[in-house]
Copies of this chain bind each other. A is one copy, B any other.
Amino acid sequence: MVADWQPVRRTRTFEDVIAQIERRIAEDGLKAGDRLPAERSLAEQLGVSRSSVREAMRVLETLGVVSSQVGRGPDAGAVLTARPDTALTDLLRLHLGLASLELREVIDTRLMIERWAAARAASAGSDTSGLATALAGMDAATSAEEFVEHDTAFHCALADASGNRLIAAIMRSLRDSMRRYAVEAVTRLGDTSVLRADHERILAAVRAGDPDEAANAVAEHLAHAYPSLS
Contact = CB atoms under 8 A, between A and B. Distances in A.
A25 interface: yes
A94 interface: yes
B112 A58 contact: no
A64 interface: yes
A101 B22 contact: no
A95 interface: yes
B98 A80 contact: yes
Interface string A68-92: 0000000000001010100110111
B58 A166 contact: no
Q: How large is the interface on A (under 10, 10 to 19, 20 to 34, 35 or more residues)?
A: 35 or more
The secondary structure that dominates the A interface is helix
A20 interface: no
Interface string A94-114: 110111110001101100110
A65 B170 contact: no
A208 B165 CA distance: 35
B82 A95 contact: yes
Interface in A89-140: 90-92, 94-95, 97-101, 105-106, 108-109, 112-113, 116
A207 interface: no
